[in-house]
Amino acid sequence: MNKPSEKKGFFATLEENPSADTFLRGLWKDNPVFVQVLGMCPVLAVTNTAENALAMGLATAFVMLMSNVLVSSLRRFIPKQVRIASYILIIATFVTITDYAIMAISVELHKSLGAFISLIVVNCLILSRAEAFASKNTIGRSVLDALGMGVGFTFALLCLGVVREVLGNGSIFGLALFPDTFQEWIVMILPAGGFFTLAIWLLLFNIINQKRAAT
C-alpha cells in the first residue's frame, strides 16, 4: 500500500505547478472522452483498429494544437460577435491541410478513415478548447492545453481501439496476437461494439474516480 500514496504525492506536487497542471488536466482529470464526453463521433467510429485510432488521435491533436495557437494569438483581433464563425474557419483550414497531408502520406489510411478526417471540423472538443481556453489565455498555455487534451484524446482513442482490435480481430496494430483457434468477437468491430466498449471504459473511469474520491 506504500506505492500508491507515493504516486499520489508525485501527482500532487505536479498539480501545484501551473503549467504542468494545464497539461495533466487533459490527460486525466478533464479527459476529453472519459470525463467531458466530448467529440464522441470519431471516438466510436474509427476505433475499430488500433492503427486507425492512433492516426485519428494524432490528426485531431495536430488540428487542436494549430488552431489553439492561432486562436490564442488572434484573440485580441477577433470581434466577440463573430468569434465562433472565425474559430470554425480556422479549424476548417487546418483540417483541410491535415486531410491532404494524410492523403499524401498514405492513401490506404485515408481510405479507411474516410470522411471522418473532414469531420474533425465538427469535433466539439476542438471548438470547446478554442472557446473555453485559447481565447482567454496566452499562446504558451494554449499550446500546453492543446497538447494535454490531444494526448488525452489519443490515449482514450487507443484505449478503445486496442480493446476492439484485440477482441474483434485477434490482432494488435495489424499483427496477429492469438493462434488461429481464436474465435473473433465480430460484434466488437461492428458499431454496436463501439458503444459497448466505450460504456465499459466509462464505467471503469467512474469506479476509479469514486474510489479516489472516497480515500
User: What's the sign of the alpha-carbon dihedral 105, 109, 115, 118?
Assistant: negative
Among 71, 127, 144, 147, indicate the residue that binds another protein (CB under 8 A): 127
Q: What residue ranges in the chain does DSSP mark as E strands?
A: 171-172, 175-176
Cell matching residue 5:
500514496
The reply on whether position 93 binds another protein by CB under 8 A is yes
Binding mask 25-54 for another protein (x = CB under 8 A): ------------xx-xxx-xx---------
**Cβ atoms of residues 95 and 63 within 8 Å:** yes
Is 203 a binding residue for another protein by CB under 8 A? The answer is yes
**Positive or negative torsion for Cα 120, 186, 196, 182:** negative
- What DSSP character marks residue 36? S
103 by DSSP, 3-state: which? helix
Member of 99, 146, 148, 164 binding another protein (CB under 8 A): 99
Smallest distance from the beta carbon of 205 to another protein, in angstroms?
9
DSSP-derived 3-state class of residue 76: coil
Our finding on whether 178 is near another protein (CB under 8 A) is no
- Applying CB under 8 A, among 64, 70, 151, 198 the residue interacting with another protein is 198
69-88 residues near another protein, rule: CB under 8 A? 84-85, 88
Instruction: For the CB of residue 100, give the shortest distance to another protein in the complex, in Å.
Output: 7
Taking phi over 0 as left and psi of -120 to 50 as alpha, with beta for the rest, 170 belongs to left
Among 5-13, 103-111, 149-157, 194-202, which window interacts with another protein (CB under 8 A)? Answer: 194-202
Residue 110: CB minimum distance to another protein, A:
12
